[in-house]
Amino acid sequence: MSKADNIYVKEIFDLIKTLLNFCKFELFIEKNEISLNCSSKDLSKILLFFKDNPSLSMECLIDITAVDYPEKVDRFLVVYNLLSISKNFRLKIKVKLPENEAIPTVNEIFSCASWYEREIWDLFGIRFTGHQDLRRILTDYDFQGHPLRKDYPLTGFTQVRYDNELSRIVVEPVKLDQEYRNFDNLSPWEGMGEYLPGDEKSNLKND
């Protein structure tokens, strides 16, 4: 980033602090990007403010994502990435949530949010109140759990296989059928002798 870019980000930062005066928030610059922390109850009006204010014009919601911190009281962090095409800058809006608390949908503000919210519900189990079609989007409808939570087992809870007798796909609890094996963890080269196949070619003289 050039010095001019840093000055521009600082100007936007000061402008937001001046204009956004109707709710509580935390505003900071990290790696030359502006981030704003707010509560879930203020989220909708803050997004409307950034989208409709002509001095900011954050008209593009790039994506919504989430982070899981299972050791914290506010387990989840939901992040909204906004872009102003006309003003050429980005902004992150972050909301902290306890595990069993829902967050309001924003698909009436940004229509693309519906897909992002379904993905977050599917993978993290975060509910979005007011969403009219909150279904799984990446996993099966009868999938158990939410696979991007840190406490989700790597093997999952169920496995899928084709049953020849039933002539259909069946879903059953995960079974690790492989027998126990004792690995010595030695390098495969440590068991080799002095002679390696192909060494004889090194003694041949080039004609």
pLDDT digits (tens, 9 = 90+) for 3-27: 666 788 899 999 999 999 888 999 9
Q: Is the pLDDT of residue 178 over 80?
A: no
- Res. 32 pLDDT band, cuts 50 70 90: confident
For 101-155, what is each residue's pLDDT tens digit? 999 999 999 999 999 999 999 999 999 999 999 999 998 888 889 999 999 988 8
How do 33-38 and 60-68 pair as beta strands? unpaired
* 152 CB neighbour count, 10 Å cutoff: 17
DSSP H helix total and E strand total for the chain: 3, 9
Whether this model's pTM surpasses 0.75: yes
- What's the CATH architecture for 3-139? 2-Layer Sandwich (3.30)
**Which pLDDT does position 31 carry in this prediction?**
84
Q: Fill in the amino acid letter for 34.
A: I
Q: Per-residue pLDDT for 66 more than 80?
A: yes
Residue 174 has a pLDDT of 81
Q: Provide the mean pLDDT of the chain.
A: 87
